[in-house]
Structure 1
C-alpha cells in the first residue's frame, strides 16, 4: 500500500457511526427506563399491545419482528410485573390474547415520556429540521427493507 493511500478513518464509515450512535442511545434509554422496571424491548411490547384491537402473542411477535420464543419470554416478564395479562381467545382456544393491565397502561405512559425525553436529548446537537430529516431517512431505509405493507 502506498504511503499516502491510508484507509478512511472509522468515523467516516456508516456502519461504525450507526452502531455507536445506537449504542449511545440504547445506554441512555436503559438508564431512563430502569425506574419503570422495563427495558426497550419490553416497552416496545407495551406499545404494540396498547392499540385498540387485542392481539395474540403471535400477532404481537409479528409486529415486533421477534420469534415466538422471545415473545413468550417478554410476555412472561411483563406478566410477572402485572403489566399485561393473557387470556384465551374466545374465537380460537389455541391463541393467547395479551392485553395491558391498568398498571401496564400507566407504566407505558410514564416510560414513553422518559423515552421521548432521551431521544430529544440525544438529538439535541442537531437543529429541529436536521433531526426530523434524520428520522425520516432512517424510516425510509427501514421501509425499503420491509417492502410494501
Structure 2
C-alpha cells in the first residue's frame, strides 16, 4: 500500500482534524441557528464581552483576523442589533465596539448552546479522553 493510498487517509492527522472540524462546525451551526448567529459571530461576541472596551483593531488581533474581516463582522453584528460602534473617548480615530443588551443576552444563550454542542460532540469519548484531547489541542493551538 503506497502512502498516497486513499485507504490511509483516516490515519493522517490533517484528514482527521479537517473532518472532525467539519462535523463539529456543522453541529455548532445547527445548535446556534435558532439564535440567529454562527460560530464566527459567537467568537466575536465573546471577545467583545471583555471587561475592557476594545477597539475593532484590538478585537481583530485577539481573534487572529484581519481588520477588513473584523469590520464586516461588526457590520453584521450591528445589523442584528448585537453590537454597536462608539468613538473612543481617548482616541477619536478609534471605534470601540460594545455589545448591546440584546447582544449580551444572545451571548449568554449562545454560550449555553456552545457548551452543550461541545459536550454532545465529545460524548463518544470517555470523559478523561475528551479532557486529554482538549488539553492537547490547546497546547498545539497556543504553541504556534
Query: Under a length normalisation based on structure 2, what TM-score does the superposition of the two structures give?
Result: 0.95
Give the structure 1 partner of residue 79 of structure 2: 80
What's the CA shift string for 1:27-73, capped at 9, x where partnerless?
A: 01001111111111110000001111000000000000000110000
What is the Cα deviation at residue 126 of structure 1? Answer: 0.6
Give the structure 2 partner of residue 116 of structure 1: 115
- Structure 2 residue 37 is matched with structure 1 residue 38: yes
What SS is found at the alignment partner of 1:9?
helix
What SS is found at the alignment partner of 1:85?
strand
What SS is found at the alignment partner of 2:106?
helix
What's the CA shift string for 1:63-122, capped at 9, x where partnerless?
A: 000001100000000001111111000010110000011100000011111111111000
What SS is found at the alignment partner of 1:97?
strand
What SS is found at the alignment partner of 1:94?
coil
Q: Which moved more, 1:8-17 or 1:39-48?
A: 8-17
Query: Under a length normalisation based on structure 1, what TM-score does the superposition of the two structures give?
Result: 0.92
Give the structure 2 partner of residue 106 of structure 1: 105
What is the Cα deviation at residue 6 of structure 1? Answer: 3.8
What SS is found at the alignment partner of 1:58?
helix
Matches within 5 A, 1:1-149: 5-7=1-3, 9-145=8-144
State the structure with more CA Rg: 1
Q: Which moved more, 1:108-117 or 1:7-16?
A: 7-16
Cα RMSD over matched residues?
A: 0.9
Task: Please list every run of at least 4 consecutive aligned residues from structure 1 whose deviation after the TM superposition is greater than 4 angstroms.
Answer: none
> Matched residue pairs, number?
141
